[in-house]
Amino acid sequence: MDKGLLVIVAIGVAIIYFATNFSGDKPADNDISWSVSNKNDKLSPYYEEDVLGNRVLNLSKVSLEQAKSIWTSTPTAQKISSMVPDFDLARIEIENNVVEGAFRQYLLQFLEKIEGRFQSGKIQSDQAQKAILNLR
């Protein structure tokens, strides 16, 4: 009986060991943090890990004009623009995935401006998405 219990415990430990060491921590395919983790990626200098281990966009070290041109090619921009017309969700995404600074403040103000134009009927959903992606 003691040997049987010992065998079951050993098998359990082996399963836990293999499950934790070989499953990996690869995020889902649609996760931004995974899509920019390639060290050869030209955008990787603009991403960093936050305290929770998530990759966040940090454009605080470049000028506002440079940040605007970098923004258009980031996965973060594509994800946020795809959230329109849910502007609240896009705002939360910006607050969670863009490091505080002049660019983040600009982006939130720009989003508010686009939301106003969308709600007044001046632009359609696809136009709002393009505006957020291109910051125009």
Integer Cα distance of 73 and 14 in angstroms: 44
- pLDDT for 88 beyond 70: yes
CB of 128 closer than 8 Å to CB of 118: yes
Question: Which tokens hold the place of 39?
Answer: 């060290």
Question: Which tokens hold the place of 129?
Answer: 């998405």
pLDDT tens string 11-47: 877 787 766 776 555 444 445 444 444 444 788 888 9
pTM of the model: 0.67
Q: Which residues, in sequence order, are CB contacts of 54 under 8 Å at separation 6+?
A: 33, 96, 97
Q: Which residue has the tokens 């000028």?
A: 63
Q: Kindly list the domain boundaries of the chain, sorted by start residue.
A: 28-134
